[in-house]
Amino acid sequence: MDHIVLVGASAAGLTAADALRLEGFTGSLTMVGEELRPPYDRPPLSKHVLSGKLEPHKTTLRQDADLQRLRMNLKLGRRATHLDPAGRTVTLDDGDRLDYDGLIIATGLRPRHLPFGHGLAGVHVLRTLDDAVSLRAQLLAAPRVVVIGGGFLGTEIAATTRGLGLDVSLVDVEDTPLARQLGPQIGGLVADMHQEHGVRLHMNRTVTELTGTAGRVTAVQLDDGTSLPADLVVVAIGSVPAVDWLADSGLPLGDGVLCDSTCQVAPGIYAAGDVANWPHPLTGERTRLEQRTNATQQALTAARNLLAGPAEATPYAPVPFGWTDQYTAKIQFHGWCPMDARVAYVDGDPQDGKFVALYYTGDRVVGALGWNSARTLRAYHDRIAAPVAA
Ligand SMILES: Cc1cc2nc3c(=O)[nH]c(=O)nc-3n(C[C@H](O)[C@H](O)[C@H](O)COP(=O)(O)OP(=O)(O)OC[C@H]3O[C@@H](n4cnc5c(N)ncnc54)[C@H](O)[C@@H]3O)c2cc1C
C-alpha cells in the first residue's frame, strides 16, 4: 500500500494516522480536514472553553512538531466533496483529486438544526472550536440563556452557563434530562442537580417557534404556550453523521457509514469515530457511538485492519465508555444504559453525590455508572455483559 488518505482531521483521523505510522506504514499519508484549525479535542469545548477556564488553543491534540513527525500531507480548510471507490479517488472542494490505495473515513457529525429560527442572531449550535469561541463571546453579554435539548451537550452547556451566573432554562421533550442516554432514574438525579443550581427545567415540552426583534432572538415559544425570554439560545438537539460528501459514492449509508464488524466499508475503505456504524459483535446490533474514547479505539482498529487486509482483520467489539462533567459531578459510564433497564445503587448514595449504579436487563448487568466514583466504578467493569438482542 503506497498512499493512504484520511478524511476528517480530528480525534479519529489523527489516531488513525498515529496508528498507521506505529504499525510501520512508511508510504505517503494525506489527511484532509474541513476546519482550518489543526486537530483539537472537543470534550473541553462545552466545559472549560465555554467557562473561560481553558484558552481555546490549549485544546490542540498535537503540537506542530508532533504533527510533523507523522509525515503527513495535511490539507486543512479543505473539504472532501466526492468519493469514487472504483477509481479510488477522493475529490476536494478546490477540484484537487487524491488517488489512494487505502482510505479511512472519519468525518464525524454535524449539528442538527431546528426547522426554524437559525437565521436569527443569538441562536447558536456547538460542535467546533469556532462555535465555542463565538458562543463564549456572546454569553458574556447575554444574561438569559435558553438551551434546547437535554442530552449530554445541552446539559453540559446549561451547567457551564449557569456556572457563569447566567439565567438558564433547559427544554427537552423527555421527562428528565439525559433520559435517553442514562435512563429516567439517573435522569431524575440530573434534573435535581440542575434545579438545585437554579436552572429552570421545562421537561416534556416541544419548542414551537423562536421569535425575534430586528433579526435577533428574543424568546423561545413552547407547545404549552410558555414564552421563555431569551438573549441567547443554544440548540443542542443532536447531530447527524457527516456523510453528505458520500451521497453519490455508492457506499452503504444509513445512520452513518455502514461498515462490517471490522470497520470495513468497501475494499480498501474503513470508517471510524462518530460517523461509523457497525454491527457490534457483542450485541449483534448496528451501533454508532458518539463518545471520545470510541473515536480513539475504533480508529486504532480501522487503521490496523486496513494494513492487515480482510483475511487478518479483527472485529471491533468494545465495551462502550463515556463521561460527562457538570458542576462538581463527574459522571462516567461503561457498557449500555438502556432506558428500560432496572438501575440499582451498589456503592455510595445519590444523596451524598457519590455512588455507583448498575444497569440490569433481567439479571444481566449491562452497564455501570459512577457519579464522582471513578475509582470504585472500575471494579464493576468486568461484571458488564452486553445486552442480548430480544
Ligand atoms: C462540545 C462537545 C463535548 C463533548 N464532550 C464529550 C465528553 O465529555 N465525553 C465523551 O465521551 N465525548 C464527548 N464528546 C464527543 C467526542 O468529542 C466525539 O465522540 C469525538 O470528537 C469524535 O471524533 P471524530 O474524529 O469521530 O469526529 P469529529 O471530532 O466530529 O471530527 C470530524 C472532523 O471531520 C471534518 N469533516 C467533516 N466532513 C468533512 C469533509 N467532507 N471533508 C473534510 N473534513 C470533514 C469535520 O470538520 C471534523 O473536524 C463531545 C463532543 C462535543 C462536540
Assign 141 a pLDDT band (cuts: 50, 70, 90).
Answer: confident
Q: Looking at the structure, tell me whether residues 211 and 160 fall in a common domain.
A: yes
Flag the least confident range among 132-146, 269-283, 311-325.
132-146
Residue from 249, 277, 236 nearest 114 by CA: 236
Over residues 98-107, the mean pLDDT reads 98
Q: Are residues 343 and 377 in the same domain?
A: yes
Q: What is the pLDDT of residue 99?
A: 98
Whole-number percent of the chain with pLDDT over 70: 99
- Amino acid identity at 180: R
Whether 321 is in a domain gets the answer no
Q: What is residue 38's DSSP assignment?
A: P
Q: Which helix (H) or strand (E) holds 24?
A: none
Q: Is the pLDDT of residue 142 over 90?
A: no
Does the pLDDT at position 118 exceed 90? Answer: no
Residues 29 and 85 in one domain: yes
Do residues 125 and 224 both lie within one domain? yes
The answer to whether residues 16 and 106 touch, using CB atoms and an 8 Å cutoff, is yes
Cα–Cα distance between 165 and 144 in angstroms, integer? 10
Claim to verify: residue 78 and residue 23 sit in the same structural domain: yes
What CATH number does the domain containing 282 carry?
A: 3.50.50.60
All 3 cell numbers of residue 324? 460527562
In a domain, 318, yes or no: no
Q: What percentage of the chain exceeds 90 in pLDDT?
A: 97
Which residue among 312, 338, 359 closes a domain?
312
358 Cβ below 6 A of ligand 1: no
All three cell numbers of 43: 470534550
Based on the fold, state whether residues 217 and 155 are members of the same structural domain: yes
Ligand 1 pocket residue status of 177, Cβ below 6 Å: no
**Ligand 1: distance of its center to the CA of 274 in Å?**
7
Q: Which residue range forms the structural domain that includes residue 233?
A: 113-237
Gap between the Cα atoms of 166 and 158, Å rounded: 9
User: In the prediction, which pLDDT does 390 show?
Assistant: 55
Q: How many domains does one find in the chain? A: 3
C-beta 320 within 6 A of ligand 1? no
Does 319 reside within a domain? no
Query: Which amino acid residue places its CA nearest to atom 14 of ligand 1?
Result: 43
351-360 tens-digit pLDDT: 999 999 999 9
**Whether the predicted pLDDT of 303 surpasses 80:** yes
Regarding whether 246 and 180 lie in a shared domain, the answer is: no
Instruction: Say whether both 77 and 121 belong to one domain.
Output: no
Residue type (1 letter), 304: R
Same-domain pairing of 129 and 160: yes
Is 390 inside a domain boundary? no
- CATH code for the domain in which residue 342 is found: 3.30.390.30
Helix 179-196 crosses helix 152-163 at what angle (to 10 degrees)? 10
Nearest ligand 1 atom to alpha carbon 289 = 19
Locate all alpha helices (DSSP H) within 173-246, ordered by sequence: 179-196
Do 105 and 197 belong to one domain? no
